[in-house]
Structure formats: C-alpha cells, structure tokens
Amino acid sequence: MRDSEGAPTHRGKPLTTRWSRLGVTAVCGALAVLAAACSGSGTPAAGKHPPGHTTSGSTTATLISITPSNGSTHVRPDRGVTVTAKDGKLRSVVVNVGHDPAAGTLSQGDTVWHSLWPLDTGRHYTVTATAVGADGKTVTATSTFRTLTPAQTFTAQTFEGYHQSYGVGMPIMINFSVPVTHEAEVERAMQVTTSNPVTGAWYWDGNQVLVFRPMNYWPQHTKVSFVGHFNGVEAAPGVYGTANLSQSFTIGNSLIVVASTADHYMRVWYKNKLYARWPISTGRAGDDTSDGTYLTIEKHNPTLMSGPGYHNVPVNFAVRFTWSGDYIHSAPWSVAQQGTVNVSHGCVNVAPNNATTYYDMAVPGDPVTIIGSPVAGKWDDGWTEWFLTWKQLLRGSATHLAVQAGPSGSTFVNPSTLTSGPASGTLSNSRPRNFLAFAH
C-alpha cells in the first residue's frame, strides 16, 4: 500500500512539504537592513585623540585604529569590528554590547584583530583595545558606535528537535522564509560542533533551504550542536538577521537498510553489524519502489493508507521514507509473496514480527537504500541528500568548501587538502553509483 497524502516537494522551493506534519523547532528571529555603515578609524596619538578615545602610557608612534570609528551610527553589522596596531602589537580587544564580549581573532603578527561573527543589529557597542609598542609601553583606544536597526526581516527554522535522537544519515536542515542571495555569507555564519570529528559540507536546495550533510554517515552516538550567527548577516539586499539560531541533538544507534526489489530481501545493519535478512515484497510493475538512498522521516502505528481500490486502511508498524507515501510496514496479507514476487503499491512489505522489530529501532534519519528498481528516485521526494555524491554536495555550496567539525567547532577547508575522501561500504556511505538515481 502507499499513503496518498504526501506529495513531493520541488527543487528551489521552501521545504514546507518536508515539515508540514512534523514539529519545527528553534525559530530564528527576524532579519533586516538599512543604510550603509558610517566607518572610519580611531587613532590615538599624542595630542590628537578622537572624541571618546583615551590613551595611557606611551606617547611614541604606536597607534591603534578602530573601525567603526567613535560616534558612528547606522553601522553595518555584517562588516564587524576591525582593530589594527601600527608600530606595536595588540594585547587585548574587548567588544562590549551589554552581555558576553564579541569573539574575534588576531592575525598579521598580532597587529590586526577582527570580530569572528557579525555584530548584533540595533545595539550600542564599545570597543576597548590595548597595544604594546616596541618600547614596551601601553597604548589604549576606545570607540563607541551603534549598529543599524533593520527595516526588513526574515525568519529561519530548523527541523531538528532539542536533544532528540536521529539516524546516522540525518542532515542539519534550515529553512529561510525569504530567498537568500548572499549564500556564502549565510554559510560562513554557521558553526557546527561535534563530539566526534566529522567532515561535511553545506548545500543549498534552492534558495531557501540550507542543509549540512556529512561526507560519510555520522558516527553513531555523536553529539551535534550548531549555531547560525544570523543576527547581523545580510542574507539578501536590504535584509538582515536580528537573532541567532541554535540547536543540539544526538545521533543514535546506526540502523541501515538496503532493500532489493530484484532479489526480494531487505538487509538490516544495526550498531554497525549485519542484524537480519528479511524477505520483502516491493512495488509491482507500474507502482515500482524507486531506487535511491532515502532517510526515514516518521513512523506511525497504525497509519491510514489509500490507493486504487482502498481508502483509509489502517496499516501497522509503518516507517515512512518518501513524501509520496512509501513506507516499510507490516503486511500480513503478502507474507506468502514476500521473498519471491513484488505485489505492493510501492511500499516495502515486511512480515509482522520483522516490521515490529524495525519499527521499534527506527528514528528519523536512518538510511534506507532501494536497489534493483527500473525506476529512479525523485529529488526531494523525502530527505534525499544522500542521492548526492561528495562532489555534487560541494558544488551545491556557495563557498565550495568542506567543513571540518569537532569538539571545538568547525572550520572551512579546501577539499583538495583533505587527507581522506568519501568512504565506501554500506555502513559508511550511500551505495556506489547511487547518484544515478538523481540527474543533478
């Protein structure tokens, strides 16, 4: 049987269909824009101090420059704060906004400091910088300014629930309420932290959906958190962020299925070991179960299914993997055909005891690969990110960079510098040549 309710989404449109029946959490605040920033530099020197700047100690040529300059208003938050020291080295930079100081990084031999993330919109900031000259004396400079207040806004949402457990194939999924044109800036505002080292990449599914997918399946039991530093990001001309988006979740036990429409068996790997080989019956001719590596979406016991000649029939222990209505489910009426012939309307029919076992183990994000079908899967008919090869995934990023994540956060790296590539094998990645199911 096949559920008649779920309809495929379309590339380039927001994932409202993906999430329409599922809980969406962690709403990001609005985003917006206005005038260009006033900017300049504060350069404390002997006898010439811009308003609001102070110095102490040395009157040598050691100079500190702060951008935005003191007294600036309508400052563009996406440009951040830059502090430079001439003929000296920076020793401290503190950017205060009434809560935790803004993070930043030193470069060029400790002579340049730049804020790590965009500034908050509509806020007063005070920057205090200290440098030490060659003579060992200290110079201090300050700058106070205000960032612009947005005039246009958008929201962002993530599917992942707080501290929920997901399968090893689960991507991070973020949906934006307006089309994003500054994709690279949005990607660079993302920070991913993982308890195990993970390499992945960001991918734009159209212009309103951003996903992070690992190069290989997540290691089981990995703890994952992410922050979208969207407050202050210009996501499109005239549209800025006004709040950040964050979430934490866990990858559960590895549960991977490969179901063959040709030999009529489903192989199940649990906790990285072959767990079972169950007879199945998949879609008959005309109702073929389509090839591709999908992810489980939701499960119900029972769910109501409709199709030619039947309507709202209760089906037990049903685990969904496409929006168009394909499930792995209990099918006591086809036990005699399971293992020998395909008689379903597109679902994967399993004996009741086996369906119950799989249902109890399944969580959203468990990989389900269909092989042997004469029909290719359709992009976005379910969570189809594993239709993509690693190269295709990178091409879908605005930066075309890989992301290396770990306990201390994530960094962007050139893919050519990676010491290892996509792993092979059912337990690590989608099946070889799976990309043929998706003409990208």
Give the span between the Cα atoms of 399 and 283, in whole angstroms: 40
Q: Write down the pLDDT at residue 101.
A: 86
Q: What is the DSSP letter of 342?
A: -
pLDDT score recorded for residue 61 = 59
What's the Cα-to-Cα distance from 161 to each of 27, 204, 254, rounded to whole Å?
A: 11, 21, 19
What integer pLDDT is reported at residue 88 of this predicted model? 94
Which mean pLDDT values do the consecutive 10-residue runs of the chain (440 residues) have? 41 39 36 28 37 44 90 97 96 90 94 97 96 92 96 93 95 97 98 98 98 98 98 96 97 98 97 98 96 97 90 96 97 97 97 98 98 93 95 96 98 97 94 55
Q: What are phi and psi of 62, to 5 degrees?
A: -65, 120
pTM assigned to the model = 0.85
Three-state SS sequence of 289-331: CCEEEEECCEEECCEEEEECCEEEEEECCEEECCCCCCEEEEC
| Known catalytic membership, residue 329 | yes
What does the pLDDT read at residue 1? 56
Cβ neighbours around 238 below 10 Å, total: 12
> Among candidates 92, 118, 119, 114, which has minimal Cα distance to 104?
114
Tokens of residue 373, six digits: 């079908």
Q: In the prediction, which pLDDT does 435 show?
A: 53
Active site residue: 229, 347, 400, 440, which one? 347
CB atoms within 10 A of CB 366: 27
| Count of other CB atoms within 10 angstroms of residue 105 | 10
Q: How far apart are CA 16 and CA 175, in angstroms?
A: 9
Q: Is 400 a catalytic residue?
A: no
Instruction: Give CA–CA dist 43/66, Å, rounded.
Output: 7
Residues 163, 246: Cα–Cα separation, whole Å: 12
CA atoms within 13 A on the CB side of 300: 14
Per annotation, catalytic residue among 53, 329, 345, 400:
329
Contact, 170 vs 180, CB < 8 A? no
Provide the sign of the torsion angle of the four alpha carbons 134, 135, 137, 139, taken in this order. Answer: negative
Half-sphere exposure of 253 (CA within 13 A, CB side): 12
